[in-house]
Amino acid sequence: MCALFKSKKTAPLPRETMQAPELREAQLAAASYGPPTGGDFYDFVRVSPTRVLFGLLDVAGRFQDNHSIVAAAQNTFRSRGAELFAQEDINETDAMIEISGDLNRTILNAAGRVCSSPAFAGCYNESLGTVCYFNAGHTPGLMGDDGGVTELGATGLPLGLFSHITPDASIVALQPGAALLVVSRGMVEARRKSKSSKSEEFGLNRVKDYLQGVHSQAAQKISATILDKVQEFMGKSPMNNDVTALALARASTRKAFAAS
Protein backbone atom coordinates (compact mmCIF):
# COMPACT_ATOMS: atom_id res chain seq x y z
CA MET A 1 0.00 0.00 0.00
CA CYS A 2 2.80 2.46 0.83
CA ALA A 3 4.33 1.92 -2.60
CA LEU A 4 1.01 2.91 -4.11
CA PHE A 5 0.94 6.06 -1.99
CA LYS A 6 4.32 7.11 -3.39
CA SER A 7 3.69 6.18 -7.01
CA LYS A 8 4.79 8.86 -9.47
CA LYS A 9 2.62 7.40 -12.22
CA THR A 10 -0.68 8.09 -10.48
CA ALA A 11 -2.38 11.27 -11.67
CA PRO A 12 -5.41 13.02 -10.20
CA LEU A 13 -8.59 12.63 -12.21
CA PRO A 14 -9.24 15.65 -14.45
CA ARG A 15 -12.01 17.78 -13.00
CA GLU A 16 -14.09 17.60 -16.16
CA THR A 17 -14.31 13.78 -15.84
CA MET A 18 -15.70 13.87 -12.29
CA GLN A 19 -19.40 13.25 -12.72
CA ALA A 20 -21.20 13.22 -9.39
CA PRO A 21 -23.23 10.06 -8.69
CA GLU A 22 -26.97 10.37 -9.15
CA LEU A 23 -28.78 10.68 -5.83
CA ARG A 24 -32.32 9.91 -4.79
CA GLU A 25 -34.15 13.24 -4.26
CA ALA A 26 -30.84 15.09 -3.90
CA GLN A 27 -27.93 16.34 -6.00
CA LEU A 28 -24.17 16.76 -5.69
CA ALA A 29 -22.12 19.14 -7.83
CA ALA A 30 -18.92 21.15 -7.79
CA ALA A 31 -17.53 24.05 -9.79
CA SER A 32 -14.04 25.50 -10.08
CA TYR A 33 -12.28 28.11 -12.22
CA GLY A 34 -10.12 26.51 -14.89
CA PRO A 35 -7.29 24.05 -14.27
CA PRO A 36 -5.90 23.83 -10.73
CA THR A 37 -3.10 26.21 -9.75
CA GLY A 38 -2.85 25.20 -6.08
CA GLY A 39 -3.69 21.99 -4.27
CA ASP A 40 -7.49 21.98 -4.31
CA PHE A 41 -9.24 18.81 -5.37
CA TYR A 42 -12.80 17.67 -4.97
CA ASP A 43 -14.24 14.23 -5.50
CA PHE A 44 -17.42 12.18 -5.18
CA VAL A 45 -17.76 8.41 -5.11
CA ARG A 46 -20.66 6.08 -4.44
CA VAL A 47 -19.57 3.63 -1.75
CA SER A 48 -22.81 1.69 -1.16
CA PRO A 49 -26.36 1.53 -2.52
CA THR A 50 -27.40 4.27 -0.08
CA ARG A 51 -24.21 6.25 0.62
CA VAL A 52 -22.04 8.66 -1.36
CA LEU A 53 -18.72 10.12 -0.20
CA PHE A 54 -17.71 13.65 -1.18
CA GLY A 55 -14.81 15.85 -0.21
CA LEU A 56 -12.82 19.02 -0.80
CA LEU A 57 -9.13 19.05 0.14
CA ASP A 58 -6.45 21.73 -0.17
CA VAL A 59 -2.89 20.38 -0.26
CA ALA A 60 -0.29 23.05 0.53
CA GLY A 61 1.76 24.39 -2.37
CA ARG A 62 1.39 24.85 -6.12
CA PHE A 63 -0.09 22.17 -8.36
CA GLN A 64 3.10 21.56 -10.33
CA ASP A 65 4.83 20.63 -7.08
CA ASN A 66 2.10 18.74 -5.24
CA HIS A 67 0.10 16.93 -7.94
CA SER A 68 1.54 13.54 -6.91
CA ILE A 69 0.37 14.17 -3.32
CA VAL A 70 -3.09 15.17 -4.58
CA ALA A 71 -3.27 12.01 -6.70
CA ALA A 72 -2.25 9.77 -3.80
CA ALA A 73 -4.84 11.39 -1.51
CA GLN A 74 -7.57 10.98 -4.11
CA ASN A 75 -6.67 7.32 -4.61
CA THR A 76 -6.92 6.71 -0.86
CA PHE A 77 -10.21 8.60 -0.61
CA ARG A 78 -11.78 6.40 -3.27
CA SER A 79 -10.27 3.02 -2.42
CA ARG A 80 -10.58 3.20 1.38
CA GLY A 81 -14.00 4.79 1.19
CA ALA A 82 -15.29 1.85 -0.84
CA GLU A 83 -13.73 -0.64 1.59
CA LEU A 84 -14.94 1.00 4.79
CA PHE A 85 -18.52 1.55 3.63
CA ALA A 86 -18.93 -1.83 1.92
CA GLN A 87 -21.29 -3.03 4.67
CA GLU A 88 -24.61 -1.29 5.30
CA ASP A 89 -24.43 -1.76 9.09
CA ILE A 90 -21.16 0.15 9.61
CA ASN A 91 -20.71 2.95 12.12
CA GLU A 92 -20.44 6.05 9.89
CA THR A 93 -18.55 8.22 12.37
CA ASP A 94 -15.94 5.51 12.96
CA ALA A 95 -15.56 5.03 9.20
CA MET A 96 -15.12 8.76 8.55
CA ILE A 97 -12.50 9.03 11.29
CA GLU A 98 -10.66 6.06 9.78
CA ILE A 99 -10.74 7.66 6.32
CA SER A 100 -9.29 10.87 7.76
CA GLY A 101 -6.48 8.86 9.37
CA ASP A 102 -5.72 7.06 6.12
CA LEU A 103 -5.70 10.35 4.20
CA ASN A 104 -3.40 11.87 6.80
CA ARG A 105 -0.87 9.05 6.50
CA THR A 106 -1.09 9.09 2.71
CA ILE A 107 -0.30 12.80 2.55
CA LEU A 108 2.64 12.48 4.96
CA ASN A 109 4.04 9.47 3.07
CA ALA A 110 3.60 11.00 -0.38
CA ALA A 111 5.05 14.36 0.67
CA GLY A 112 7.87 12.94 2.77
CA ARG A 113 7.43 15.92 5.06
CA VAL A 114 4.85 17.97 6.92
CA CYS A 115 2.29 19.16 4.35
CA SER A 116 -0.66 21.10 5.76
CA SER A 117 -3.81 19.93 3.98
CA PRO A 118 -7.15 21.27 5.25
CA ALA A 119 -10.00 18.96 4.26
CA PHE A 120 -13.78 18.71 4.49
CA ALA A 121 -15.30 15.32 3.70
CA GLY A 122 -18.75 13.89 4.18
CA CYS A 123 -20.86 10.82 3.62
CA TYR A 124 -24.44 11.46 2.49
CA ASN A 125 -26.90 8.81 3.60
CA GLU A 126 -29.78 8.83 1.11
CA SER A 127 -32.04 6.70 3.31
CA LEU A 128 -31.78 9.03 6.30
CA GLY A 129 -31.01 12.38 4.65
CA THR A 130 -27.99 12.81 6.92
CA VAL A 131 -24.37 13.84 6.39
CA CYS A 132 -21.58 12.36 8.50
CA TYR A 133 -18.57 14.65 8.11
CA PHE A 134 -15.18 15.71 9.39
CA ASN A 135 -13.63 19.14 8.98
CA ALA A 136 -9.84 19.00 9.27
CA GLY A 137 -9.00 22.69 9.60
CA HIS A 138 -10.95 23.61 6.47
CA THR A 139 -13.21 26.55 5.72
CA PRO A 140 -16.48 25.82 7.55
CA GLY A 141 -19.12 23.90 5.69
CA LEU A 142 -22.33 25.93 5.50
CA MET A 143 -25.73 24.30 5.85
CA GLY A 144 -28.65 26.44 4.76
CA ASP A 145 -32.24 25.53 5.62
CA ASP A 146 -35.44 27.15 6.92
CA GLY A 147 -33.70 27.88 10.21
CA GLY A 148 -30.91 29.93 8.60
CA VAL A 149 -27.28 29.08 7.92
CA THR A 150 -25.28 26.84 10.24
CA GLU A 151 -21.48 26.66 10.22
CA LEU A 152 -19.92 23.20 10.32
CA GLY A 153 -16.62 24.27 11.82
CA ALA A 154 -13.35 22.46 12.30
CA THR A 155 -13.47 19.12 14.12
CA GLY A 156 -9.69 18.81 14.13
CA LEU A 157 -6.39 20.07 12.75
CA PRO A 158 -5.46 20.03 9.04
CA LEU A 159 -4.24 16.71 7.66
CA GLY A 160 -0.55 16.24 6.90
CA LEU A 161 0.75 17.73 10.15
CA PHE A 162 0.89 14.91 12.73
CA SER A 163 0.92 11.19 12.08
CA HIS A 164 -1.38 10.08 14.91
CA ILE A 165 -3.88 12.94 15.27
CA THR A 166 -7.17 12.73 13.40
CA PRO A 167 -10.28 14.93 13.45
CA ASP A 168 -13.56 13.89 15.03
CA ALA A 169 -16.66 13.20 12.94
CA SER A 170 -20.18 14.55 13.42
CA ILE A 171 -23.60 13.90 11.88
CA VAL A 172 -26.10 16.54 10.74
CA ALA A 173 -29.54 16.17 9.17
CA LEU A 174 -30.10 17.76 5.78
CA GLN A 175 -33.75 18.78 5.73
CA PRO A 176 -35.80 18.61 2.51
CA GLY A 177 -35.07 21.80 0.57
CA ALA A 178 -31.79 22.39 2.44
CA ALA A 179 -28.28 22.64 0.98
CA LEU A 180 -24.73 22.11 2.20
CA LEU A 181 -22.09 24.30 0.59
CA VAL A 182 -18.32 23.91 1.05
CA VAL A 183 -15.98 26.49 -0.50
CA SER A 184 -12.22 26.68 -0.78
CA ARG A 185 -10.03 29.12 1.08
CA GLY A 186 -9.25 30.73 -2.28
CA MET A 187 -12.88 31.81 -2.52
CA VAL A 188 -13.07 33.26 0.99
CA GLU A 189 -9.75 35.07 0.52
CA ALA A 190 -10.51 36.42 -2.98
CA ARG A 191 -9.65 40.15 -2.89
CA ARG A 192 -10.43 43.42 -4.61
CA LYS A 193 -9.44 47.02 -4.04
CA SER A 194 -12.16 49.01 -2.27
CA LYS A 195 -12.96 52.68 -2.87
CA SER A 196 -10.57 53.56 -0.07
CA SER A 197 -7.82 51.65 -1.96
CA LYS A 198 -7.69 49.08 0.81
CA SER A 199 -7.83 45.41 -0.05
CA GLU A 200 -11.19 43.76 0.73
CA GLU A 201 -11.88 40.02 1.01
CA PHE A 202 -14.91 38.27 -0.42
CA GLY A 203 -15.21 36.60 2.98
CA LEU A 204 -17.35 33.82 4.40
CA ASN A 205 -20.25 36.16 5.22
CA ARG A 206 -20.94 36.80 1.53
CA VAL A 207 -21.16 33.04 0.98
CA LYS A 208 -23.55 32.77 3.93
CA ASP A 209 -25.69 35.66 2.65
CA TYR A 210 -26.04 33.91 -0.69
CA LEU A 211 -26.92 30.57 0.88
CA GLN A 212 -29.54 32.27 3.06
CA GLY A 213 -31.70 32.81 -0.02
CA VAL A 214 -31.25 29.35 -1.51
CA HIS A 215 -34.13 26.90 -1.18
CA SER A 216 -34.67 23.78 -3.27
CA GLN A 217 -32.17 24.91 -5.89
CA ALA A 218 -30.09 22.38 -7.79
CA ALA A 219 -26.55 21.81 -6.54
CA GLN A 220 -25.16 22.70 -9.97
CA LYS A 221 -26.82 26.11 -9.82
CA ILE A 222 -25.66 26.74 -6.25
CA SER A 223 -22.01 25.96 -6.95
CA ALA A 224 -21.92 27.83 -10.27
CA THR A 225 -23.71 30.91 -8.93
CA ILE A 226 -21.36 31.42 -5.98
CA LEU A 227 -18.41 31.32 -8.41
CA ASP A 228 -20.12 33.96 -10.52
CA LYS A 229 -20.52 36.12 -7.43
CA VAL A 230 -16.78 35.88 -6.68
CA GLN A 231 -15.93 36.89 -10.24
CA GLU A 232 -18.38 39.80 -10.05
CA PHE A 233 -16.85 40.87 -6.71
CA MET A 234 -13.30 40.85 -8.09
CA GLY A 235 -14.20 42.26 -11.48
CA LYS A 236 -12.20 39.46 -13.11
CA SER A 237 -11.72 35.70 -12.98
CA PRO A 238 -9.61 34.55 -10.00
CA MET A 239 -6.23 33.36 -11.27
CA ASN A 240 -3.81 33.31 -8.34
CA ASN A 241 -5.49 30.65 -6.22
CA ASP A 242 -7.94 27.80 -6.64
CA VAL A 243 -11.55 28.91 -6.23
CA THR A 244 -13.83 25.92 -5.75
CA ALA A 245 -17.35 25.30 -4.49
CA LEU A 246 -18.97 21.95 -3.70
CA ALA A 247 -22.70 21.70 -3.03
CA LEU A 248 -25.07 19.01 -1.81
CA ALA A 249 -28.75 19.92 -2.20
CA ARG A 250 -31.79 17.97 -1.09
CA ALA A 251 -35.07 18.41 -2.95
CA SER A 252 -37.99 19.75 -0.94
CA THR A 253 -40.45 17.32 -2.51
CA ARG A 254 -40.43 14.55 -5.06
CA LYS A 255 -40.68 17.23 -7.72
CA ALA A 256 -37.69 18.66 -9.59
CA PHE A 257 -35.43 21.30 -8.10
CA ALA A 258 -36.40 24.94 -8.52
CA ALA A 259 -35.31 26.39 -11.85
CA SER A 260 -34.68 29.84 -10.44
Look at residue 34 in the predicted model and tell me its pLDDT: 64
Provide the pLDDT for residue 47.
Answer: 95
Report percent pLDDT > 90 for the chain: 59
Contacts for 15 with CB less than 8 Å, ≥ 6 apart: 30, 32, 35, 36, 42
- Position 9 scores a pLDDT of 42
- The pTM score is 0.88
**Quick one: pLDDT at residue 30?**
93
- CATH node for 2-250: 3.60.40.10
CA distances from 230 to 30, 118, 134 (A): 15, 21, 26
pLDDT at 39 over 90: no
Lowest mean pLDDT of 90-94, 160-164, 212-216, name the range: 212-216
Is 119:197 a contact under the CB 8 Å cutoff?
Answer: no
Burial class (CB in 10 A: 0-12, 13-18, 19+), 39: buried
What percentage of the chain exceeds 70 in pLDDT?
Answer: 84
Residue 192 φ then ψ, to 5°: -145, 160
- Residue 255, classified by CB atoms within 10 Å of its CB into exposed (0-12), middle (13-18) or buried (19+), is exposed
Q: Where are the domains of the chain?
A: 2-250
Answer whether residue 234 shows pLDDT above 90.
no
User: Each residue of 144-180: pLDDT tens digit?
Assistant: 998 899 999 999 999 999 988 899 999 999 999 999 9
For residue 8, pLDDT over 60 is answered with no
| pLDDT for residue 259 | 52
Sign of the torsion formed by the C-alpha atoms of 251, 254, 257 and 259: negative
